[in-house]
Amino acid sequence: MSDSEEVQTRVEDGVLIVTINRPEAKNAMNQAAAQGIAAAMDRLESESELRVAILTGAGGTFCSGMDLKGFLRGERPTVEGRGFGGITQWSPKKPLIAAVDGYALAGGMELAMACDLIVANRGAKFGIPEAKRGLAAGAGGLIRLPRQIPSRIAMELALTGDFIDAERAYALGFINDLTDGPAIEGAKALARRIADNGPLAVIASKGVIRDSGTWSDEEMWDKQQGYIANVFSSADAREGALAFAEKRKPNWTGA
């Protein structure tokens, strides 16, 4: 996959780093950037050596939301079947971490909440201010946010459009980790901890946690089995046990 002007990628130790590259527009999401993120996720899925991805923004801002100039031209920053920014209605099997500096607002906050984990600089700001512009947070803000923080706080943020800082977001459990420096450094450290683990186990664990919220008590054990059965019968499971017994680092093959 070749990078576009709007989205740049690089690989570090099995981690795919995806950067929204529109700093002059505070990384506002346009159609080209959405397509670039979707293409990066396809690469994450298709290349076995890639274990985790990080989504971040250039120039000290994560994403300021939808490009309103593009919106006025009739452009929608979505990808068919995947939603806003290429990820709000679809998730890769492998983990995706948001590294947030500056502002994650409107669609930018919705991009962050679509990721599996969030690392943010202490100075970061979050919000879904769509109501201030006569719009609604339709890319997941109204659906996902009450599942990720207390529902009354989610209601307050949606109805007032007010921002919250990273410290409060962390206290609410919305953020996994805070950094004093660039969020990407904390995100890379978290990604390395994930990439050290068995890839099949990571994919299965993400899948169960992501999907099990809709499972009933009667069906949850059978449904979980569909995700984890191949993990326990894999060569990696044997390698993990053997490496533990031999007191060495496992050599994962993803099989």
49 is catalytic: no
For residue 252, pLDDT over 60 is answered with yes
What single-letter DSSP state applies at residue 181? S
pLDDT at 1: 38
Topology of the domain comprising 7-195: 2-enoyl-CoA Hydratase; Chain A, domain 1 (3.90.226)
The residue with greater pLDDT, 3 or 226, is 226
For residue 36, the one-letter residue type is: G
User: Of the given ranges (70-84, 110-124, 143-157, 224-238), which has the lowest mean pLDDT?
Assistant: 70-84
Of 12, 45, 75, 130, the catalytic one is: 130
Mean per-residue pLDDT, 46-69: 95
Of 110, 156, 167, 246, the catalytic one is: 110
- Helices 141-148 & 151-160 angle (0-180, nearest 10): 140
Q: Which residues are CB-contacts of 123 (< 8 A; sequence separation ≥ 6)?
A: 101, 102, 165, 166
130 is catalytic: yes
Computed over every residue of the chain, the mean pLDDT equals 95
Mean per-residue pLDDT, 40-49: 97
Distance CA 52, CA 203 (A): 10
Kindly list the domain boundaries of the chain, sorted by start residue: 7-195, 199-246
For residue 96, pLDDT over 90 is answered with yes
Distance CA 195, CA 120 (A): 20
Distance CA 118, CA 177 (A): 7
Three state DSSP letters for 116-150: CEEEEECCCEEECHHHHHCCCCCCCHHHHHHHHCC
Confidence bin at 74 (pLDDT 50/70/90):
confident
